């Protein structure tokens, strides 16, 4: 009798499978704007509209599923072979439609809003990503893992990421604050406010963003405003060999604390400007520079 019961259950399940009545569980994940992205099955054809999104998808275990991306998506090495569909400020919508993606990862503060809106209006699944804290990076990886059905890989990566983050917190917390000006670009002179991920790295290192109260996430400032803010350290995103002239502007102002204490540095912009997992590599470098400034100021 018991065997007959299990045979009936098995037959019922097979019948549901054949008739399509037994469907896979729908995947629902909220993006960074609070919108719910719903997929009937794990994403297999992904387009990323920012270099950092490529790195996040690879970290989540789905790099081989990226079928299109934007220029400067050059990490990891495999990303260099992904077909391009434009730049993060100008995507080719027709090309995107032709590739038939089942998931698009957009960058809220980097992509043009009208282009993101158009993709959404066309009925595409658009996940808008904008990590503002270091923990947001780990959260992004975990959510992408759910969308891709690679949660085991994604969660393992995010766990290691958080352990690295906590180790940095333990090492650098409680140190004396150092006033920092972070320079994204030279002409025009651009920096970030306290809501930006770069500012989260500054706080991790015990640095205070001198433009933390600036209204915009990133915006232009004047040389005079930087001088008035009296930063004790200036860090610019880029390579010193390519952008050494950026610091020439500041060296003329010998009364500027950062110049007086010789605390002018560069960090590879790929490690600090991208909202991806390598942000902690950039943080390692920034924290060392901030500590050097700390020692120079209070020696």
| Total-model pTM | 0.88
**Region 174-297: CATH code:** 3.40.50.1980
Q: What is the pLDDT of residue 24?
A: 59
The topology (CATH level 3) of 24-161 is Rossmann fold (3.40.50)
Determine the pLDDT at residue 87: 93
DSSP string spanning the chain?
-HHHHHHHHHHHHHHHHHHT-SPPPPEEEE-TTSPEEEESS---SEEESSHHHHHHHHHTT-GGGEEEB-TT---SGGGGGSPB-EETTEE-HHHHHHH--SEEEEETTTS-HHHHHHHHHTT--EEEE---SHHHHHHHHHHHHHHHT-HHHHHHHHHHHHHHHHHHHHHHTTPPPEEEEEESBTTTTEEE-TTSHHHHHHHHHTEEETTTT-SSSEEE--HHHHHHH--SEEEEES-HHHHGGGGHHHHT-TTSHHHHTT-EEEE-HHHHTS-STTHHHHHHHHHHHHHHHHHHH--
Q: Show me where the domains of the chain are located.
A: 24-161, 174-297
pLDDT confidence of residue 190: 97
Give the residue ranges of the chain where pLDDT is below 50. Answer: 1-23
Per-residue pLDDT of 123-175, as tens digits, reads: 999 999 999 999 999 999 999 999 999 999 999 999 999 999 999 999 999 99
């Amino acid at each position: 009798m018991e065997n007959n019961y299990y045979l009936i259950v098995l037959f019922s399940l097979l019948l549901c499978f054949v008739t399509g009545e037994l469907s896979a569980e729908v995947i629902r994940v909220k993006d960074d704007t609070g919108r719910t992205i719903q997929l009937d099955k794990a994403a297999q054809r992904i387009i990323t509209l920012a270099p950092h999104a490529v790195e996040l998808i690879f970290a989540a275990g789905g790099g081989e599923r990226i079928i299109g991306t934007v220029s400067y998506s050059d990490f990891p090495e495999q990303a260099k072979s992904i077909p391009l569909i434009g730049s993060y400020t100008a995507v080719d919508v027709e090309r995107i439609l032709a590739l038939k993606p089942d998931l698009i990862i957009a960058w809220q503060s980097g992509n043009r809003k009208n282009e993101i809106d158009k993709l959404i209006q066309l009925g595409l699944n658009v996940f808008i990503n904008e990590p503002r804290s270091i923990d947001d990076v780990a959260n992004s990886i975990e959510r992408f893992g759910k969308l891709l059905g690679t949660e085991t890989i994604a969660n393992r990566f995010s766990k290691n990421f958080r352990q690295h983050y906590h180790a940095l917190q333990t090492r650098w917390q409680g140190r004396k604050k150092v006033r920092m000006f972070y320079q994204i670009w030279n002409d025009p002179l651009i920096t970030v406010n306290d809501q930006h991920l770069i500012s989260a790295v500054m706080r991790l290192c015990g640095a205070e963003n001198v433009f933390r109260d600036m209204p915009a996430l990133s915006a232009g400032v004047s040389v005079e405003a930087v001088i008035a803010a009296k930063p004790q350290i200036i860090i610019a995103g880029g390579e010193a060999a390519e952008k050494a002239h950026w610091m020439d502007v500041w060296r003329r102002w010998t009364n500027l604390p950062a110049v007086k204490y010789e605390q002018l540095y560069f960090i590879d912009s790929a490690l600090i400007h991208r909202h991806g997992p390598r942000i902690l590599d950039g943080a390692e470098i920034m924290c060392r520079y901030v500590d050097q400034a700390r020692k120079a100021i209070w020696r």
